[in-house]
Structure 1
Amino acid sequence: MTKPQSKRSPGRPKSNSDQPSMRDKVLNTASVLFMELGYEPVSINMIAERAGVTKASVYYYFTNKAVLFTTSVTEMMTRICFYTERIIQAHSDIRTRLEQIAVAKMSKSHVEFESLMREAIPFLTQEQREDIRKAEHQIHVLMAQTFDQAMEQGFIAKGDPMLLSHAFASLMMIGNRELVGDTSYTANELSVIIVDLFWQGIAPR
């Protein structure tokens, strides 16, 4: 007697263990679209089409756009934190760390995060806003620890490490521009210039 085949839960998309999960595919696609276009222009239909899945599959995992946005952004922040930590561990020199972090940040075009949040906030619950800010804060904590360690070792001047983290992140936003004035820079060139500005300041030398 043949065993009856186990049935999937109603509405559950088919999965393939050799491929990224459908949930991950949707999340990765959503985070790219949100960071490229902002919150409002991106629709569930657009995400489904770009991910190559059905709209019903997106809704199986995420009840609405706000939930999908919150999850995609917080998981993206977690990945950024992980890769930033890897860069920090791979280089002992603080300036090299900053340059490599800058290159990684500037290699991908994205909207300015605070602008993205201002656009999304009216559609998010208080809990969702807090979840995103907590995930973002973890990156700043990591960077602040790096600056604090460099201060203790005498590699940089004493100051507020958390303020330095936010200042450095703000400078990274220049990487969103195709041109700076009339000049076009590669991500590598711009990262070196910006880190140099951050490192030296604007005092006469």
Structure 2
Amino acid sequence: MKRQQTGRTPGRPKGNTDSRSVLLNAASALFMAYGYEPVSLNQIAEKAGVTKASIYYYFNGKSDLFTASVTEMMGRIAMYTRQLLAQGGTLRERLVKVAEAKIAVNHVEFETMMREAIHSLSEAQRLQIREAEHDIHRVLAEYFAVAAEAGEMRSGEDPLLLAHAFSSLLMVGGRDTSLAPDAQQSGLAERIVNLFWRGAGPHA
């Protein structure tokens, strides 16, 4: 007797939930909280509320899921950074908002996480992640270039270099909690932006 076709690919997760998106959100949250090595596929599946088999329906393994989750997360960061920078107020005020948003998220240091993962990633995966990271820098550089043309920042500086410098300061602020012992995240954001602005602001 011929088996009746169900119309569903074997192994495909059941239900109407977008399991891939749920998996990506769960994976990025765990990777950013604990790093690459300590996180297992079983933990990700449990947090996402799916089976481990569901992970292999969408991804080839841990490195593939890591790459997809990190690049998608960075895409969201780039989009949110653009939204914050597109708001009203001076550029310096908007940079404080960007810094506050970055510091408010508890996570492992990105470069540390990448060092853990690097040997498990293919060259193509490494490039994909670095390109997604670079998209965030490009957003910042775009606004720095506009500010320089308007005289709000000193002209003649490389906007992309300034973007990397600002991002590096944000990473320090997010990593070293001793910089804000009273958990005054807004105050720390101001201090970081002030440190950056003294080097990037227009000459008096």
Q: Within the alignment, does 1:188 sit opposite 2:186 as a pair?
A: yes
Alignment check: 8 A CA contact 1:144 1:162 kept: yes
DSSP-derived class of the 1:15 partner: coil
Q: 2:59 aligns with which of 58, 62, 80?
A: 62
Unaligned ranges ≥5, structure 1: none
Q: Map 1:134-149 to 2 at 5 A.
A: 134-149=131-146
Using the TM superposition, give the Cα deviation of residue 77 of structure 1 relative to its aligned residue in structure 2, in angstroms. 0.8
Q: Which amino acid aligns with 2:148?
A: M
Number of the residue aligned with 1:15: 15
Q: 1:153 aligns with which of 150, 158, 165?
A: 150
Alignment check: 8 A CA contact 1:179 1:185 kept: no
In 2: Cα distance, 1:113 partner to 1:82 partner: 18
Alignment check: 8 A CA contact 1:81 1:138 kept: yes
Q: Within the alignment, does 1:132 sit opposite 2:122 as a pair?
A: no
The Cα offsets for residues 11-31 of structure 1, whole Å up to 9 and x where unpaired, read as: 111132xx5x11111100101
Aligned residues: 195
Q: Which amino acid aligns with 1:189?
A: G
Q: Map 1:33-182 to 2 at 5 A.
A: 33-158=30-155, 159-173=157-171, 174-180=173-179
The Cα offsets for residues 50-100 of structure 1, whole Å up to 9 and x where unpaired, read as: 111111111111110000000001111111111111111123421111011
Segments of 4+ moved more than 6 angstroms: none
In 2: Cα distance, 1:137 partner to 1:200 partner: 24
Q: TM-score, normalised by structure 2?
A: 0.89
Unaligned ranges ≥5, structure 2: none
Q: Which amino acid aligns with 1:140?
A: H
Task: State the superposition RMSD in angstroms.
Answer: 1.8
Residue identity over aligned pairs, in percent, reads: 51
Q: TM-score, normalised by structure 1?
A: 0.89
